[in-house]
Structure 1
Amino acid sequence: MSDAPAEGPLGYLDVSAPGVPKRRVPIFGQLFVGRECAGIAPARRMVIDDPQISRNHLEVRLDAETARAFVIDTSTNGTRINGMRLERAVPMPIKSGDVIVLGDLTLTFDAERFTGSSHVDPGLTRARINLSPMVMVVGDIVNYSTLSEMTDPGVIASGLSVLWGELGAILRAHRGTLNHYAGDALYAVWEPSAVPDAVALAITFALAANDRVGVLGPELPLRNPDGSPIRMGWAVVQGDAALSAMTRSVEAVIGDSTNVAFRLSGLAGRDGRAAVMVTAAVQRAARDRFMWGPSEQVMLKGRQGQETVFAVVAPATAQQPAVTDGAMPAHRTGPARQ
């Protein structure tokens, strides 16, 4: 029985590569292309067994109401449209007939209703995208690369589907918006203008999600090399994001705040650190709402200077008052392992 949506495809990708028969892949609103595309329904993913292709290389997104189509590059090695290299994580408009190239693969977009110009009008872009403060949470699976090398891709996909489903429900309960899953990571945002308690909700979500991973992990068929269940590291960061009117969702993050979130999540839960860590700005905004571990000066890859980060211990309670920074004497300082 097919799992394809009943309404039928909105468009197609005609796929060709040297020495490989051509094929036509339907697009049901969204199509994820990559080496794994873990956690994505089969009808909405195109898996490519090629080491040049990232686990989650790109996404094609079609908006039937506005007859606009976009491709979003999320890869390591990059993507080209009509010979032009895409900027990572920034949606690029496409039209029927445009050619997308990744590695040795050529994808030709074909859709009758998406025939408008794919050229970006700078004036239109400024009108449709607005900067807004955001609170961002990234949850990253510890040792995912090693785990994925020793685990069957089908087992990974089914396990991540369960995991992301559980964490998605917790996210909705905490009024967060899922931006995307990046294979081994979850990326979510809160808009303080719409959710006044955004910082506290984001931290509470990270704590609750981490607790759920602790309970769910032993039930999942995903194991570390030593046989232990999966763990995740969580980072909470504040910064600016670009809001697109296309889907009323966050399409791209401006500046380096999102990079800080991903890099800090890669430190959390490792080398004796707490599973949930936040930047100094987040800690100041929620100082009295949570119990804090010691601050730490870390070097984040790709940035100059040190970042001050804090471990989150637990929500503060009437019986157990919040610990402010400086109350715990043990502070670790120095570059963090990348």
Structure 2
Amino acid sequence: MSSDTTTRGPNLQWQDENGVAHRLSLTDKIFLGRVCRGIEREKCILVPHPRVSRDHAVVRLTRHGAEITDLSKNGTWVNAVRMAPGASRQLQDGDVISLGGRSIRISLPNLTPQPESDNWMEQTAIIPTAVCITSLVADVRGFSAFSQKTDSTVVYTLIEAIFSRFSTIVSAHQGTVKDYAGDAVFAFWEHTGGLAPEHALSACQAAIDQLHSVPEIHRQLTDRGLAMPLPVLGWGLTTGQITLSHYGSRSAGLALVGDCINLAFRLSSMANKTLSAPIVMCRQTASLVEWKLPLMDLGEQEVRGRSGKEHLMGIHMMPERIDRPGHDHNQPQ
């Protein structure tokens, strides 16, 4: 690394905490962060600030020029504008990247985009794929009213505790957390080789474990002196085919598109509200788990925003555990 601020090729320039000027040539990728684990010192810019993530962002050359991808928890700014979490954006000569109070200027002299036929950089093909999943959405009841009359730090502490515990439960049952949407947690289980009861059962067990965890979450928060009522939530479970891909500017943004996902959100808003059951599922999900779970028939129900009616089922009682599917002769084939 050099304190000289002139160079012939693309580079990043900044001053450290002592005011010493530095320059790092951009030949492929430069990583920005507090630690940059496993990265050669010549390939990273370390910013020792508590609000800077260990692996905060990466600047790379592409066939179109240079781009930055945000990897942080607290945000990255380009020309004083915050990037969307996980987003990528093109960089121009003279753009200034800001993180943790450090300003890093990018210099792109004589850099011209490569033609599409050039094989200078191999591009990853992103192909939309049709897959079957079981979706699980957990939604907090009365969240808007609670937020309106409660200090924002208490609201944040409650939601953070719920999201953290629920995410741990999803991971324990081999599911994937897709999104935290306001006051809802959306997770999914991908079926391989056709619809499989074990994946739907895993999603159901995750919902049951999440339900059982709510009183403990509440107790821990009240023990810390946070006054709040016991949270009430609703869970929606659906199974069906979706299209899985990526779109938009967020390279880390996995896109799941399908009617069953929309239905899962709708069912979560009905559970423990217009329907007495805390965990509500579509008939497809029920057909995969009814051999193992005691279900109650909720009948044909109108679902807001949808035409016709949906045949819905709920879990009749909340067992602590579901026996995992194995060599059960009663298991559907």
Query: One fold, TM greater than 0.5?
Result: yes
1:283 equivalent among 279, 283, 286:
286
Which secondary structure state, in structure 2, belongs to the residue aligned with residue 230 of structure 1? coil
Answering whether residue 120 of structure 2 is matched by residue 95 of structure 1, we say no
Matched, 1:255 2:258: yes
State the SS of the aligned residue for 1:253.
strand
Query: Which residue of structure 1 lines up, in the alignment, with residue 71 of structure 2?
Result: 29
CA gap 1:171/1:249 in 2 versus in 1, 3 angstroms:
farther
CA distance in 2, matches of 1:212, 1:275: 13
Cα distance in 2 for residues equivalent to 1:153 and 1:306? 38
Matches within 5 A, 1:31-70: 43-44=74-75, 59-62=84-87, 69=88
Q: Report the 3-state secondary structure (helix = DSSP H, G, I; strand = E; otherwise coil) of the residue aligned with 1:273.
A: coil
How many Å separate the matches in 2 of 1:45 and 1:310? 45
The 5 Å alignment of 1:148-227 reads 148-193=147-192, 196=196, 197-220=198-221
Q: Can you give the 5+ residue segments of structure 2 that lack an aligned partner in the other structure? A: 1-48, 60-67, 78-82, 93-104, 115-122, 324-333
RMSD between aligned residues: 3.7
Taking a change above 3 Å as real, the CA distance of residues 299 and 7 of structure 1, as seen in their structure-2 partners, is same
Cα 1:154–1:250, aligned 2, differ >3 Å: closer, same or farther?
same
CA distance in 2 between partners of 1:178 and 1:208 (Å) = 15
SS of structure 2 residue aligned to 1:159: helix
| Cα deviation digits, residues 157-216 of structure 1 (max 9, x gap) | 222222211111111111110001112000000011189410010011101111101332
Which AA in structure 1 matches 2:166?
L
- Alignment check: 8 A CA contact 2:296 2:315 kept: yes
Q: 300-309 or 288-297, which moves further after superposition?
A: 288-297
Query: C-alpha displacement at 1:317, in angstroms?
Result: 7.7
Q: What's the CA shift for 1:29?
A: 1.1
Q: Where has structure 1 moved over 6 Å in runs of 4 or more?
A: 110-113, 245-250
- Contact 2:126 2:245 (8 Å CA) reproduced: no
Mark the CA change 1:112 to 1:244 in structure 2 (over 3 Å): closer, same or farther: farther
Give the match's secondary structure for 1:290.
coil
Counterpart of 1:3 in structure 2 is 51
- For the pair 1:295 / 2:298, whether they are aligned, the reply is yes
Kept after mapping to 1: 8 A contact 2:295/2:315: yes
Distance 1:141 1:243 in 2: 27
How many residues get paired?
A: 229
Q: How does 1:127-142 map to 2 (within 5 A)?
A: 128-142=127-141
1:321 match: none
- Name the CA shift for 1:240/1:59 in 2 (closer, same or farther; >3 Å): farther
| CA–CA distance in structure 2, aligned partners of residues 215 and 96 of structure 1 | 47
Identity rate of aligned residues, in percent? 21
Distance 1:282 1:28, change over 3 A: same
State the AA in 1 paired with 2:206: F
Name the structure 2 match of 1:231.
Answer: 232
Structure 1: stretches of 5+ with no match in the other structure: 12-25, 31-40, 47-57, 63-68, 70-93, 98-109, 118-123, 319-338
Number of the residue aligned with 2:43: none
> Counterparts of 1:150 and 1:172 in 2: how far apart (Å)?
33
> Quick one: which of 303, 308, 311 aligns to 1:308?
311
Deviation at 1:131, TM superposition (A): 1.4
Q: Which deviates more, 250-259 or 284-293?
A: 250-259
How far 1:250 sits from its partner (Å)? 7.6
Q: Please state whether the residue corresponding to 1:308 is helix, strand or coil.
A: strand
Conservation of the 8 A alpha-carbon contact between 1:96 and 1:112: no
Q: Report the CA distance between 1:249 and its aligned residue.
A: 8.0
For residues 251 and 192 of structure 2, the distance between their equivalents in structure 1, rounded to whole angstroms, comes to: 14
Letter of the 1:213 counterpart:
V
Aligned-partner Cα distance in 1 for 2:162–2:322 = 29
**Superposed CA offset, 1:286-307 (max 9, x none):** 1111011232222111111011
* 1:315-335 residue CA offsets vs partner (Å, 9 max, x unmatched): 5989xxxxxxxxxxxxxxxxx
Is residue 240–residue 260 contact of structure 2 (8 Å, CA) maintained in 1? yes
Can you list the C-alpha shifts for 1:34-92, whole angstroms capped at 9, x where unaligned? xxxxxxx5x1499xxxxxxxxxxx95424xxxxxx3xxxxxxxxxxxxxxxxxxxxxxx
Cα distance change on mapping 1:176 and 1:153 into 2, 3 Å: same
Secondary structure, counterpart of 1:190 in structure 2 = strand
Structure 2: how far apart are the matches of 1:111 and 1:305? 56
- 1:179 and 1:6 map into 2 onto residues whose CA distance is 23
